[in-house]
Amino acid sequence: MSDAPAPEPTRGGAASQPDLPPLQIADVQAAVTRELDRLAPLLDELGGRFTTAGEELALVGGPVRDAMLGRSHTDLDFTTSARPEVTERLVKGWADAVWDIGRAFGTIGCRKGPWQVEITTYRSETYDPDSRKPDVDYGDSLAGDLGRRDFTVNAMAVALPGRAVEDPYGGVVDLAHRVLRTPGSPEDSFGDDPLRMLRAARFAAQLGFGVDPGVVSAMTAMADRISIISAERVRDELVKLVCAPYPRLGLTLLVETGLAERVLPELPALALERDEHHRHKDVYEHTLTVLEQSIDLEHRLAPEGEEPRPDFVSRFAALMHDVGKPRTRRFLDDGSVTFHHHDVVGAKLTRKRMKALRFSNDETEAVCRLVELHLRFHGYGSGEWTDAAVRRYVRDAGDELERLHVLTRADCTTRNRRKAERLRRTYDDLEERIARLSEEEELASLRPELDGNQIMELLGIGPGRDVGRAYQFLLDLRMDEGVVGEQRAREALLAWWAEREG
């Protein structure tokens, strides 16, 4: 392993970097040995097949990095001197299944027992300055292949079958010091593939690493280059970042380098300027705190008996819940600030951004509903809502009710402990009322006693708008009075219809 000197102190979101101590090289070596021992049944067999055929094979990239961090993988990446047709021949008859969907990029995939494997021929790529799609040329050495990778911690390999660690760019030292650095010039790396700038933020968020000052400077100077990246690629990196263990670290880096202005401009816009006459809460810092607090509450979203998992919809709603504030900010004569209707405006801005990033309709609607409803609870006061208002709260939240509970609770960032405790007790009361009404009335369904066919039969009408209006009348009746029974619903509907006809 490399004996390169420790990297310089890092910057770029450093204030929010988790307090993780440097790793000891001996611990890194022990961790990778344990993981390689676990993978030995696969590595020894596969390495032997390639060596016998006169080819080189190495475990590479994320699996090597994570092995050094004590993390296990079942998805494994390899690089080889063999051309794709040779790789395919060598794994056929050994693997349980083989596929060649990545053949154009030199990649053959296969499955062996619990492991998913991708084997890619050494590459030496050249890029068009106006595109991130490389012209793929096969390389002739492992070192050359590693040199084209994004960061030194991803530019390490384990040669097989002998298990020698290949680290030509000092990735082990960078990993031990928890820093992201490029194998060569960051300007060259980001010039070749601007997506790597987003990957820097994503890996910072996933690993809790800092970023080399030169990398941060290059990201800042080259932020405009991100415009050649497709919306889908940007979206995928943002999802991984937001669902990472330390999203604040990655988001802060995006804002500080100016990348956020290009890919998620609503976030830096939250850093509203202050002056000596107008003081108000720092909306940007508040938002990042709400995001972290929503993560702490994700256990509420996990099915009973299961470990909590990152929930993108919940996290992204926390990130976007106040994006309507810059558009709705008004200064009053007394020096106070208002943000009336920022929930509605924020939902519209969120929908526009998510559509631009090609999110699915289901994800977009779920996040936007949460943004639009995140203030609704504050009308609850000290519990003055009628049962009808509670029913409407549940109906409007729909399938997002549990996420709305999480967002509303996370949105309390006051340092006033008495106020925070009062808000918590009040929301406890609302949840208890929802649970009671749900038990009494099957609140989750919230359907009228009569369906569309029954409405048409009772009123003697065919399909059309009147059926929808009648259904809405019955739904409002259900909201206001709870379960009234089919006979009461029929009587009320006939009376409403007669009044309309009159």
Q: pLDDT under 70 in the chain at which residues?
A: 1-17, 125-136, 273-281, 440-446, 501-502
Residues 6 or more apart whose Cβ sits within 8 Å of residue 188: none
* Helix axes of 361-373 and 387-397: crossing angle, nearest 10 degrees: 150
Number of neighbouring beta carbons within 10 Å of residue 6: 12
Nearest Cα neighbor of 458 from 417, 413, 496 is: 496
pTM for this structure? 0.83
Strand partners, 79: 58, 120
- Domain at 23-176: CATH code: 3.30.460.10
- Helix residue ranges per DSSP H, 53-135: 62-68, 84-91
What are 283-341's pLDDT values in tens digits?
999 999 999 999 999 999 998 888 999 999 999 999 999 999 999 888 888 878 888 89
Which two tokens mark 252? 């802060």
Give the model's pLDDT for residue 460.
Answer: 85
Rounded distance, CA 316 to CA 251, Å? 12
Domain boundaries, the chain: 23-176, 291-441, 452-501
Of 314, 432, 443, 303, nearest to 369 by C-alpha is 314
Output the pLDDT for position 12.
40
Q: How far is the C-alpha of 429 from the C-alpha of 384, rounded, in Å?
A: 11
Strands 75-80 and 57-60: antiparallel
Per-residue model confidence as pLDDT tens digits over 410-434: 999 888 899 999 999 999 999 999 9
What are the backbone angles phi and psi of residue 240, rounded to the nearest 5°? -65, -40
